[in-house]
Structure 1
């Protein structure tokens, strides 16, 4: 495994700096182009960085489409693919419920999730996959069907999304599962503040019909560490309930609970053949992109 810190360009993608740019398309283009250039310079993934542009040669392929320059570098045969060869749908399913509006000392979970969704969209569009978006709270808020022409539409819709009302995974995800009839990749981005069994029950139908599901569990550093210092009233962002708490008295118990919650989701995702990645909103976006490419490479090798 290559360390994310070894990838050139990582210093340019601090989420707080990016959030101040204010233009999601510019953010996505800058992050993804820098990230891909860094991978090329370090040869982290080799040809798989452009896996929509190249695939391994198989018997019967037109030899005129072999990339001989790539062969000279890798001693392997790869076929050039073009836009017409695209057969993959990619959709982001983004939680915009009220709790996603939480921000500790940096960007909110939703701001971070929108940047991550934008970068993933731009990345897979570069790979000539069709891109789409579903935003939801306890119902579907926005739906952009996957299309090779929808990249800008997805980014514009993402830009205007705001945290809304309390959410629920089951209803909107089960409803959308009926629409994902074509094999593709579904990236679910949420803070997953539900019971682990309920989360998997909500995600399960998305796996039907051969779809691959990748979960990005987005949490603020404060939610992971609970490093608050002063006694105060904490507000439940879903219900609005005010709860007086002395942080020091509960810190270790809270940390144990959040670790158990994350571990339970991880294990249940593994059992359901769903890829899982915990994402801290203070971490550079290239870490999540690197994780995504690693998971996609694993999926491709398993086919």
Structure 2
């Protein structure tokens, strides 16, 4: 049994405070956030916190990526340059028109059995669907078209990208449904998704990625070859990253159900070594494919995970103009 895919059968409580701070901004703790039962309201709280964080962070000058501007690219009409914005940010931006905001975004959410694991108060599935709901709400606010794919060993829900009054409500309802608890087969659903998604746009994969790296490389490579801008959000429980257990206990494979009695003192080094090797392979695959990659811990505020994604997309060679080029090709 691969220790990298084994999760403990028991769970423990977290002693964290309800709010997290970053540069004077307070973000709601994930455990407190999940007490908001309405998924759309929960998403709204995260989006509002994210915007508040942008205005009090080093990203303030770049918050235009999330508004009605985009970065200047050669060939743009110079009449639409915003010189006042240039004076504040030292970057050239042009105003986006309504037809330029019609980005197509596909949110791919893993609801397989391993996503139900938690060592705290929040399962990976709860965190993942809240992240997907947040991104859907965010896209709707920007007048972009969001679609949803919910999958385990196959596609369970598919809502094509739309920007209509009732579409966001349908997405929230689909995310709110409890999963069937099936195993993961990343290959089949991602292959189906690649064949189903015809128009090019953004593809956001939200999963724990407890699967062979070569499967991920093949399917993400196919999506990239079709011109999609791919983002990968890997949702992990802190116990999977740290293996903090000390006493012998029963561990159960979240996918197969196979149980194994383990002494953590002797297994810890092997587990962490195997997990890190697997994680490095996934990170390398995303880097080679030029897919944005972020690890989201379930004990970390969602706003900070969004900041991590924004930071990744602002790295060398990753800027708002890339998103707009993909969007224009999709039309």
Q: Which among 82, 102, 110 is matched to residue 87 of structure 1?
A: 102
Q: Which among 203, 208, 214 is matched to residue 186 of structure 1?
A: 203
More deviation, 163-172/288-297: 288-297
- In structure 2, do the counterparts of structure 1 residues 230 and 301 end up closer, same or farther at CA, with 3 Å as the change threshold? same
- C-alpha contact 1:50 1:127 (8 A) present in aligned 2: no
Equivalent residue for 1:164?
181
Describe the superposition over 1:134-156 as per-residue Cα deviations: whole angstroms up to 9, x where unpaired: 01011100011111223332222
The number of equivalent residue pairs is 298
- In structure 2, do the counterparts of structure 1 residues 46 and 198 end up closer, same or farther at CA, with 3 Å as the change threshold? same
5+ long unaligned stretches in structure 2: 1-19, 323-331
- Does the residue aligned with 1:192 lie in a helix, a strand or coil? coil
Equivalent residue for 1:247?
264
Between structures 1 and 2, the one with greater helix share: 1
Structure-1-length-normalised TM-score: 0.89
C-alpha displacement of 1:200: 1.3
1:70 aligns with 2:89: no
- C-alpha contact 1:88 1:183 (8 A) present in aligned 2: no
- C-alpha contact 2:65 2:320 (8 A) present in aligned 1: no
1:6 aligns with 2:22: yes
- Does the residue aligned with 1:252 lie in a helix, a strand or coil? helix
Cα distance in structure 1, aligned partners of 2:320 and 2:105: 18
Cα distance in structure 1, aligned partners of 2:155 and 2:267: 36
Q: Which among 11, 14, 33 is matched to residue 48 of structure 2?
A: 33
Describe the superposition over 1:86-135 as per-residue Cα deviations: whole angstroms up to 9, x where unpaired: 23211111110011000112200100111111112222333332111101
- C-alpha contact 1:182 1:209 (8 A) present in aligned 2: no
- Does the residue aligned with 1:162 lie in a helix, a strand or coil? coil
- In structure 2, do the counterparts of structure 1 residues 106 and 49 end up closer, same or farther at CA, with 3 Å as the change threshold? farther
Root-mean-square deviation (Å) = 2.4
Equivalent residue for 1:300?
319
5+ long unaligned stretches in structure 1: none
Structure-2-length-normalised TM-score: 0.82
Cα distance in structure 1, aligned partners of 2:320 and 2:108: 25
- Does the residue aligned with 1:118 lie in a helix, a strand or coil? helix
Ranked by relative contact order (alpha carbons within 8 Å, sequence separation 6 or more), the top structure is 2
Equivalent residue for 2:142?
127
Cα distance in structure 2, aligned partners of 1:155 and 1:17: 19
Describe the superposition over 1:143-195 as per-residue Cα deviations: whole angstroms up to 9, x where unpaired: 11111223332222112242520110011111111222222111111111112
- Does the residue aligned with 2:56 lie in a helix, a strand or coil? helix
